[in-house]
Amino acid sequence: MANAIVAHAILTLRHDEMPEAHASPEVNLALMANLREPSPEPEIMALPSAPPAPPLQRNPRIRIFAGADHQAPTSEAAQESES
């Protein structure tokens, strides 16, 4: 396929000939892709800034250390099992 693309470039640039369609559809697709001009660079869209994130709520059941202020809620079943 690369040889066909190079041959097409040589025929069109050096000899001013437009070669006929290739027998292989894959080569024709590659040639058409090379002939197509690249699309222009898209503009950067201006977006409004995002609202601030809501504050995170602490899970009171998680104890960070033994002397933490908030004690984890205990159910009656948990209290009975400890006794």
Summarised one tens digit per residue, pLDDT across range 15-49 is 777 777 777 888 878 887 877 788 899 899 999 99
Q: State whether residue 79 is helix, strand or coil.
A: helix
- Given a contact cutoff of 8 angstroms between Cβ atoms, the answer to whether 14 and 7 are in contact is no
pLDDT class of 68 with cuts at 50, 70, 90: low
Backbone angles phi, psi at 40, to 5 degrees: -70, 155
- The pLDDT of residue 73: 54
Give 67's DSSP letter. Answer: T
